[in-house]
Copies of this chain bind each other. A is one copy, B any other.
Amino acid sequence: MAQFMDVHRGMKGLTREQLEEAHQADLRLQAEEGVEFKHAWLDPKQGVAFCLSEGPDAEAVRRVHERAGHPPDEIYELPLEV
């Protein structure tokens, strides 16, 4: 398993409820792709969300988000952390 950060842009004004709803949609689908979403953060002023996940590869992470209706703009694999 690898770790990933994906970035969603165009999220200006998203509310806490909308963020939770989007995250729940990911959680409902993630097992089918072998992905586990760990955390999501949102800057509603600049309209950017970050999702931290573990999964087999970036494409599996992308598929969960796409099936949930919010494809990410960027996905980064994170082999190093401190």
Q: Number of copies of this chain in the oligomer?
A: 2
Q: Does more than half of chain A's interface fall in helix, strand or loop, or is it mixed?
A: strand
A3 contacts partner chain B, Cβ-Cβ < 8 Å: yes
> Known: A5-B50, A50-B5, A50-B50. Is A81-B44 also a contact (CB below 8 A)?
no
A15-29 CB contacts (< 8 Å) to partner B: 16, 19-20, 23
CB distance from A13 to the nearest CB of B (A): 11
B3 touching A78, Cβ below 8 Å: no
Mask, A35-46, CB within 8 Å of B = 1, is 000011111111
> Is A68 an interface residue when CB atoms closer than 8 A count as contact?
no
Q: How far is the CA of A78 from the CA of B11 in the complex (A)?
A: 12
